[in-house]
Structure 1
């Protein structure tokens, strides 16, 4: 009821104030006593207004006749005190010359106004009307008696200085007089300048906005905001037009871009989205920090105490910088480097085998010279080299037909292609939808970019994060070509060398390509909901890499594609559970025990040279047999074994095989304990780190055992050193987190950092490029691993 009376008085005020001819220098037609449900016709022009007073009774309360205090001309930068009550309003007329360099801001303070009978402030400009109430009541019920607003500039007067009169009407429906103060002021630094800092303060009842105009020839800028305090706020870029969305309830619905902010925020702005060449930068402070916290709290509106001066004042420093507009240089440089790597890899593939053959011939004479003495030692100890059930050679595990095993391993390629098609298509569709929604709504809280180094292109918000995955795709194709060449030149011999089955290597190459596709898809709009897209194929690569090494000397007993992908599904599901039970101590403890039991079982399997108690018995009985074997090994006496390419002489398995397995156990135990101690929110990365470490450990184990058996390890050793160096370098960049979906969007932006290379790539982009190279070198290591044994009889190649 009171609100209706207030609106009626507002319309009357806007008409009656025009009677003050001395102030407005305008001619006002005689007021017409108007009645409801009747249509009136008229005409107006500048300075010639018509007043229509409508009088009515609300309920049974008699209407009080409106009285205006004497209006007077006001000047800027001076504080005026006054009081208003129901039917007794105040009018101020501010006359000034418009300028595009300044804006006008009004500050209003009242310690007496209450929400039930607020003060209504109406500001009439020549082409618009702006109003607000005092006190300002936030969505959570907090009240602010101090309110400041900047008027939206008249765009028609930006290029000319025109005298303009601004009328401020102050009214209330309170029967008791309410005191207030009013100050009008100029915002002299309203126009932001490139590479120049501007500092201001803002609070929930006093939003701020500034204007930036693109200089000639500049088409893209980065708008930064920094604050020494972590008070939650909205940071928004809007079109330079009225009205301005500067309230927490409306800023999300503007046609521009907005982010939540604590300590820093950044928005990249392109000219093509702002046809006028200008835009507004708006800062709106929240009355609480719920929106910027990781877990949004459920709150009920508070009966908050009155706050005359805000305790949530936020000091903000704005800066607009020119940023990289043309990306051709980093794009081309990246492709050139990848092509150089491809050429170098082709040289290695064709040059290394020649080197290996030369070294193998020189080593063969040394091995032959030791054979007689070793065999004599074996005879002296009554050990039958080929009859011992503990001694296994490649010939013992390569008895099945080559063509049959070839068909078995070909299934890996078809399975990964099938899985990738059905996995990737909905993923791409989903992330494209995410990006479109982000572009349409302007809500940049839905995607966790490094906004200080987000390079937009077309509809991509962070094209650099997507493009940096090109290394996976290009090097994946290069590896497929390398495998294809090796496959084409393969000369199969059932008696010599390791059986050359290339299907797992093809699967690795395709997985590397898909890792690029899935990582790029994730980085279109990175967030918690789609993070698993980025890690799934890394799990797959780690598993396939270990299987590839294992398959070389265990051709007949290597798991089929169906079993292997079932294991990968289980690993991905474990990663999913880590996302569900995020940060749970119980989950990490359970995972630790499952992790260690799995490692112990696999270690027992590897210690036994790949033999199982009985491959025909039930699966779980075989598992129990493995743990019995592991327990027996722990009690047995280990003897040092000299393993050469033609025989293995030992009653027990080599102590040399135990050492790397124990080291691996300690490393895995440490990783599991670290998980329990830290309970990382990002379990998927924790799991991925464990798998990559174990893949590298198995590579070390394989190379170590080759050396123990007198095989040539130099080329593989050099590749492994390069692999470890690349992984270490890539990991150092990975640890430099520039964003984090584990946090809220505002907290994630606190980690944002400037571009690291060529003004285009950030630390995570460099991780993409170096890790792609590290994976590629790892795959080349697998491709060339046992080429030194091509002329060695299988009955002389030990299994480990």
Structure 2
């Protein structure tokens, strides 16, 4: 009994005049201007719609309010859509006009190849408002004739925040993938979404990201779609109420109170363009690999020719030099020869006017900077008798073996900086190779894991703003959005491997010609042969390719430093290699070099997130301190150390020198070079403080690449100044490297994306493929920069080949 009374009471209270509906048989494509009944009385418009027809409804009201809005419900056979006027988007944006496309009948269940039922069904529009006074409105329901897009045909559309638009497209079976290209002349922010066929369609700003893939755009956008993922889909266009997501500066500042806007309309075009099939990718990929294999063949021909030339040069020059050393060594080891005879013998053989080196008390032959091997050190030798009077003074041998005295000479020779045992030095430089392999392994594995996780996150979330691709030339394959940007890094890996092979061949050739002839030749002639840094350079080039490919799995500001870090390493290793050529004893240890590089990589990471005045102050101090330390090392050739004894050394220097000698530099050549280099580096620091570039990691590449180029030019200039000839192949490598770098930099500057901007702004720079309908500007940059690095570091393989049979005490240090 109580339940019956309760039901009766609910029926009476829930039966106001709103159930008294005014039903109107309406016609499509006809505008109805009317007003609502007071107190929520329904006005119902009934339309007859076929299942194959797509209906769009337009509704406008000038005098509805947010307190008593005009309510509209659109009922279909299997879907219901409700709106209210004014429609509120975000916080303070209100619109008096709304236009929505109703979900077509049967799209959830009917496959693309099955015809639709042409029987008509009812569609109703129910309008009501709980205002005591009538609210005027305008209503129109009309058919969409061009709801489905056609491949290759461009369609012009317009949309606003309250009037979203969506279309349908079915990928033909003959295609593997297509790209949806959207272009506009204005910069109004809009979201483009790709959604599965079904109802409801999420086409408002507050729900468009709930389904499918979506990206923001202003002037240009593109979405590549694989048929294996979606063969039939909706393309939804939703205009944002403001531009804060697409731009760093909001073009519309939110007002403190409600703002009614109906003029924010975006005009755009949409085009479906077919992408190459998966099998068509084989041609551009094969051409790239084939071009690199041609370089392999040319390198093999070049190495074979150089090997023949070296053997011929050994016959012409090497034998005479080695036989001279043999004769000299045998005379030094004979105890019956006097010191004067030894000096005369050396002068006769080598033409040197410099006094001879004396054998040490252990019997080790130390000829003009010769580095005794461990076997030589243990050999017994004659005991030399030295008078007590002579013992009170330093002999010439004492001066030469004292590295502090040797390095303080104004005119240093390579023999003065190659006194340490060769095996000890070579082991030191091979630490660069093993340390870099270890660093690369521990660095690359988490990177690959992380970017693959990001790629999976993009696929699951559908948020295409997480990765900064060139969507106009993104070629999907194996579930990767831009496989072309990954494959184009193969040049780094293959050319880095080729470089390692050329270094190994050079090492074996040296052993066959020079090292196999006489043990002392290694330590007497030419620039000391150490290949550890060259191997490290080859590995660094390969790691650059691997990490660059990892970055391009999902390029963004969060992982840009992955491959940039190895760019820093390549630049630093190049400078260290040039310095090591004539400073083998005093080059930096591997752990020190990589420790400083770790500092710069840390600063690069901080520059991405804290690009403000305090960061630039800290960076400037760190950079200047490193610059000062490098300058001191280069100027004093390892004589000064920044340790606890620095104060006593400075005090001793100040007391033992005159005022004039403190002002006038003792090593004028080094001073001029350091002055120019430090001025350029200080200019770089001041430029950074003034500009504060958003892309700090790229900006930090300038000192590494710039200093490497400056040091190489200085080295070549000093060689020519000291009348050291450059080999023709060295000049050719230099010219080809410069040409490749010029071409590569053009493609790098003409970027097709920029993670320092918002995703929508970056897409404005997106460009179609320029090579084989597969590679874009950045892909060509990958190939050309890999070739440029290979050419640049191939210079090191022949830079000092002209000094192979020149005595080290005749090779100037600079």
TM-score, normalisation: structure 2: 0.81
Distance 1:711 1:580 in 2: 48
Measured in 1, the distance between the counterparts of 2:409 and 2:494 equals: 47
Give yes or no for the alignment of 1:680 onto 2:671.
no
Measured in 2, the distance between the counterparts of 1:603 and 1:569 equals 20
Provide, for residues 570-597 of structure 1, a one-character-per-residue CA deviation record: whole Å limited to 9, x for no partner. Answer: 2212222322332x35654665576466
- Which residue of 2 is the match for residue 636 of structure 1? 664
Matches within 5 A, 1:683-698: 683-698=696-711
Could you say which residue in structure 1 is the equivalent of 2:25?
72
Q: 1:783 to 1:593 in 2, by over 3 A?
A: same
Whole-angstrom distance in 2 between the partners of 1:611 and 1:135: 78
C-alpha distance in structure 2 between counterparts of 1:251 and 1:130, whole Å = 15
- 1:412 matched to 2:432: yes
- Picking from 139, 146, 153, the partner of 1:196 is 153
Pair 1:229–1:299, CA change in 2 (3 A): closer
Separation in 2 of the partners of 1:87 and 1:613? 92
1:260 aligns with 2:212: no
* Residue in 1 that maps onto 2:773: 759
Once residues 9 and 71 of structure 2 are traced to their aligned partners in structure 1, the CA distance between those partners, rounded to angstroms, is 19
Equivalent residue number for residue 34 of structure 2: 81
Answering whether residue 292 of structure 2 is matched by residue 342 of structure 1, we say no
Which residue pairs with 2:382 in the alignment? none
Classify the secondary structure of the residue corresponding to 2:140: strand
Quote the residue 2:565 is aligned against: 536
Contiguous gaps of at least 5 residues in structure 2: 321-346, 355-395, 401-405, 516-521
CA distance in 1, matches of 2:5, 2:736: 87
Counterpart Cα distance in 2 of 1:498 and 1:82: 96
Q: Tell me which residue corresponds to 2:259.
A: 305
**Distance in 2 between residues matched to 1:373 and 1:401, nearest whole Å:** 24
Change (3 A) 1:209 1:568: same
Tell me how far 1:109 sits from its aligned partner: 0.6
- The yes-or-no answer on 1:176 pairing with 2:204 is no
Q: TM-score, normalised to structure 1's length?
A: 0.82
Change (3 A) 1:722 1:606: farther
Cα deviation digits, residues 598-636 of structure 1 (max 9, x gap): 54654564455x35346997579889999999x989943
- Deviation at residue 358 of structure 1 after TM alignment: 7.0
Aligned position for 1:210: 167
Tell whether the 8 Å contact from 1:139 to 1:301 is kept in structure 2 after alignment: no
Determine helix, strand or coil for the equivalent of 2:706: helix
Kept in 2: contact 1:86–1:173 (CA 8 A): yes
Counterpart Cα distance in 2 of 1:528 and 1:538:
16
Q: Secondary structure at the match of 1:349?
A: helix
> 1:55 aligned to 2:11?
yes
Q: CA deviation at 1:83?
A: 2.3
Distance 1:393 1:292, change over 3 A: same
Q: Do the aligned partners of residues 281 and 479 (structure 1) sit closer, same or farther apart at CA in structure 2, a change above 3 Å counting?
A: same
2:91 to 140, 143, 158: 140
For residue 390 of structure 1, what is the aligned residue in structure 2? Answer: 410
- Change in Cα spacing, 1:540 to 1:705, as seen in structure 2 (3 Å) is same
Structure-2 separation of matches of 1:373 and 1:673: 50
Between 1:443-452 and 1:485-494, the stretch displaced more is 485-494
Q: Which of 513, 520, 525 is the equivalent residue of 2:549?
A: 520
* Structure 2 CA distance for partners of 1:663 and 1:357, relative to 1, 3 Å: farther
Corresponding residue for residue 186 of structure 2: 229
Checking the alignment, whether the CA contact within 8 Å between 1:612 and 1:626 is kept in structure 2 is: no
Moved more, 598-607 or 769-778: 598-607
What does residue 705 of structure 1 align with?
718
Offset at residue 224 of structure 1 (A): 1.1
Deviation at 1:480, TM superposition (A): 1.5
Moved more, 677-686 or 441-450: 677-686
**How many Å separate the matches in 2 of 1:200 and 1:81?**
29
Structure 1 residues 268 and 590, CA gap change in structure 2 (3 angstroms)? same
1:490 is displaced (CA, Å) by 3.1
The aligned runs of 1:554-565 (5 Å cut-off) are: 554-565=583-594
CA offsets, 1:558-578, max 9 Å, x none? Answer: 111111111111221222232
Deviation readout 1:350-373 (Å, 9 max, x if unpaired): 3235557878999999xx9xx999
Determine the C-alpha separation between the residues in 2 that align with 1:627 and 1:179: 95
Q: Deviations over 1:256-312 (max 9, x none)?
A: 2100111211101121112xx3211111111122222338999999531334xx121
Cα-to-partner distance string for 1:464-521 (whole Å, 9 max, x where unaligned): 1111111111111111222222223333322122221111111111111111111111
Deviation at 1:540, TM superposition (A): 0.6
**What's 1:572 paired with?**
601
Counterpart Cα distance in 2 of 1:316 and 1:620: 71
Matched, 1:449 2:469: yes
> How many Å separate the matches in 2 of 1:209 and 1:721?
55
2:631 and 2:643 mapped to 1: Cα distance?
21
TM-superposition CA deviations, 1:533-562 (whole Å, max 9, x none) = 120011011111111111121111111111
Q: Provide closer, same or farther for how the CA distance between residues 35 and 360 of structure 1 changes in structure 2, counting only shifts above 3 A.
A: farther
Conserved 8 A contact 1:110-1:134:
yes
Q: CA RMSD in A?
A: 3.6
Say if 2:46 and 2:122, in contact at 8 Å, map to a contact too: yes
Residues 644-673 of structure 1, C-alpha deviation per residue, up to 9 Å, x if partnerless?
xxxxxxxx6465x66655554454354444
- 1-structure distance, mates of 2:635, 2:565: 29
Structure 1 residues 315-365: Cα deviation after superposition (integer angstroms, max 9, x where no partner): 121111112233111111111111111222232233235557878999999
Work out the CA distance in 2 between the residues paired with 1:461 and 1:213: 20
Tell me, in whole angstroms, the C-alpha distance in 2 between the residues paired with 1:786 and 1:626.
Answer: 36
Match of 2:204 in 1: 247
Query: Shift in Å at residue 89 of structure 1?
Result: 1.3
| Deviation larger for 213-222 or 668-677 | 668-677
Is the CA contact (8 Å cut-off) linking 1:465 and 1:520 kept in structure 2? Answer: yes
Aligned to 1:379: none
1:255-404 alignment, distance < 5 Å = 256-274=212-230, 277-294=231-248, 303-307=257-261, 310-325=262-277, 326-352=280-306, 354-355=308-309, 389-404=409-424
1:727 is matched with 741
Corresponding residue SS for 2:72: strand
Structure 1 residue 242 displacement after superposition: 1.4
Q: What is the deviation of 1:753?
A: 1.3
Provide the secondary structure at the position in 2 that maps to 1:772.
Answer: helix
CA 1:779 to 1:488, structure 2 compared with 1: closer, same or farther past 3 Å? same
**Equivalent position of 1:440 in the other structure:** 460
Q: Secondary structure at the match of 1:490?
A: helix
TM-superposed deviation, 1:126: 2.3
2:71 matches 1:120 = yes
Contact 2:317/2:805 (8 A) holds in 1: no
- 1:149 pairs, out of 71, 80, 100, with 100
Show the counterpart of 1:29: none
Deviation sequence 1:103-157 (CA, Å, 0-9, x none): 2101001112222222221222223222222221112232111010001112248
Q: Is the Cα–Cα contact under 8 Å of residues 450 and 739 in structure 1 kept in the other structure?
A: yes
Alignment partners' CA distance in 2, 1:600 and 1:798 = 25
Structure 1, residues 720-763: CA drift from partner, whole Å, max 9, x if none?
A: 22222222221111111211111111111121111121111111
CA distance in 2, matches of 1:682, 1:779: 27
Once residues 372 and 63 of structure 1 are traced to their aligned partners in structure 2, the CA distance between those partners, rounded to angstroms, is 121
